[in-house]
Structure 1
């Protein structure tokens, strides 16, 4: 399958104060992304560039840069580490879109919609493999252990989410286990590995590991909230996509717990069959039960925990940006 999409060089995200404090490092990461996408197979470069250039914020590589710099790191291996983290993330996006049979991501056609499932999966494999080559270049067994362990947890999280589709009986505890694996783990690995690279103390290393975990949880909670109240143009996907796929996210779990037996029964039926035929009724129940407010409160709780972990770091502009990132996690609209 051939797409009418012209390859472009990966673009930097829109400038923001968060990126400004590591602007030179971030430019170096973008150059390294271009260099490491090099392949003798043109389709690998084309699809790789397309998905990396699809408008993401590149928060995970940003975490590497901020964590390392906040602890006084002055070498250059944080550039390689940040790049490989972005490759790991991009490979999961390629695989996820195939599994979810997605057609749009960030307002653009997904790679699997443009080129087909097989090329998307295989290019995702290439990016994973290239990321492990780059881990060797970083030259730290501890970092390799953190990242290789993270890939297993992420894969388990994705499988867990897949097995939960159409299952209205999962608990809030089950939900948090799923999003810890599929989303928060890579945030955690990014900040944790950045700390290890900078020879952090044991207290600082633990703090940055937990900071990334809580930040990732906050981001996923808001993602799941926005699926029921976000702006489709801003998000680059349709409101209700999770419901259409039968994903039992926290807004639905809370609505079933707090709704009447009739309301809970209706949501359970919708989760089992998927689809959007009863979206308006589900939205009414979600609002009536305060499910979105509850989800936001849990996200704010996670962001507050992330902020508290930053007390282990010395004052700096990098720490300030990490604090801003935690606040952004719950304040964003897309």
Structure 2
């Protein structure tokens, strides 16, 4: 079951219901700021992705953490829109880098238009995000989100060199995940506390929560690539394998591989020579070494760390929802 399709009692839906008014303002701001008087392709490309029914999880985290910490102003709306713009920009760039044809169950922007449009519109959204950050008047917010943007790019570049190298270990994988996914989760939650003027220990707790939640979320996604459904993950099952990405289940299997299995991984990942039946064989090897179960256990550990970090925050229904959300992002693979 996806976050989008969950029943109304699921944490994501409860968060969405509580934050409906704020999210309407965020969406209105996004629509206004993605407009372009001189380049109509910008709102066309952006709308294709923004309006594709994504989870909006990251901006909701900013709204939720700001309200949890007692914020009553308007800057959390700008920050939530900022987070969504950064996320959308990275998706546009990622699809070009990965040569993806599907995102959220729909054709990617680079497939419908072209790579140049996707890259340049992504750049435009990054620029818009920085305009929104500045409008808050907070140098610390600007520092957090600017660092996150740099870390995301760094993680993506690291993945380029690590993704098809069998020497890539779990430590490098974690660096990649912290860059490409967890950095924005952590920034999204941290700036909510900062803009609310929360005590430093609470701000740091929110950072830890976002970091751990993002890692759990990405590990679960990587696992679903080998055991989910196309509807559930919004892309084709096995895409990571076909794109020769060394995600955690594969890294664990490679670490335990015998000579014959290592030769298989070398052929399909490093050399890119894939044949019919190779995906099934890869999954059989991972099953033989309990790689999927070990990966699932790590996702659950990170979710538990996210939950534990919330204990120093004020008692609040939103805190409970954030705690439940940590469980839910990994329930897809439990």
Pairwise TM-score range, normalised by the shorter structure: over 0.9
In the aligned structure 1, how far is the partner of 2:131 from the partner of 2:273?
41
Tell me, yes or no, if the aligned pair for 1:246 and 1:273 is still in contact at 8 Å.
Answer: no
CA drift of 1:273 comes to: 2.5
Match of 2:159 among 158, 161, 182: 161
Tell me, yes or no, if the aligned pair for 2:162 and 2:172 is still in contact at 8 Å.
Answer: no
5 Å-filtered alignment, 1:190-201, equals 190-201=188-199
Tell me, yes or no, if the aligned pair for 1:29 and 1:82 is still in contact at 8 Å.
Answer: yes
In the aligned structure 2, how far is the partner of 1:267 from the partner of 1:287?
15
C-alpha root-mean-square deviation of aligned residues, in Å?
Answer: 1.3
In structure 2, the partner of 1:66 is 64
In the aligned structure 2, how far is the partner of 1:181 from the partner of 1:20?
30
Q: Is the aligned partner of 1:81 residue 2:71?
A: no
In the aligned structure 1, how far is the partner of 2:274 from the partner of 2:240?
10
In structure 2, the partner of 1:33 is 30
In structure 1, the partner of 2:228 is 230
In structure 1, the partner of 2:319 is 319
CA drift of 1:234 comes to: 2.3
In structure 1, the partner of 2:90 is 92
Seen in structure 2, the aligned counterparts of structure 1 residues 275 and 93 have a Cα distance that, compared at 3 Å, is farther
Match of 2:112 among 111, 114, 124: 114
Match of 1:53 among 51, 54, 62: 51
Tell me, yes or no, if the aligned pair for 1:18 and 1:324 is still in contact at 8 Å.
Answer: no
Structure 1 gaps, min length 5: 1-12
1:286-320 Cα deviation digits (max 9, x unpaired): 11111111111000000000000000111111111
TM-score (norm 2): 0.93
In structure 1, the partner of 2:171 is 173
Tell me, yes or no, if the aligned pair for 1:25 and 1:79 is still in contact at 8 Å.
Answer: yes
CA drift of 1:274 comes to: 2.9
In structure 1, the partner of 2:147 is 149
State the aligned residue count: 321
Q: Is the aligned partner of 1:301 residue 2:298?
A: no
Q: Is the aligned partner of 1:140 residue 2:114?
A: no
Seen in structure 2, the aligned counterparts of structure 1 residues 300 and 275 have a Cα distance that, compared at 3 Å, is farther
In the aligned structure 1, how far is the partner of 2:189 from the partner of 2:67?
11
In structure 2, the partner of 1:283 is 283
5 Å-filtered alignment, 1:192-231, equals 192-231=190-229
In structure 1, the partner of 2:186 is 188
Tell me, yes or no, if the aligned pair for 2:267 and 2:274 is still in contact at 8 Å.
Answer: no
In structure 2, the partner of 1:3 is none
In the aligned structure 1, how far is the partner of 2:272 from the partner of 2:102?
18
1:58-104 Cα deviation digits (max 9, x unpaired): 11101101110111111111001000110000000000101111111
In the aligned structure 1, how far is the partner of 2:20 from the partner of 2:41?
30
In structure 1, the partner of 2:21 is 24
1:179-228 Cα deviation digits (max 9, x unpaired): 11111000001001111011111110110001000000000000110111
Seen in structure 2, the aligned counterparts of structure 1 residues 235 and 125 have a Cα distance that, compared at 3 Å, is same
In the aligned structure 2, how far is the partner of 1:289 from the partner of 1:238?
24
Structure 2 gaps, min length 5: none
TM-score (norm 1): 0.93
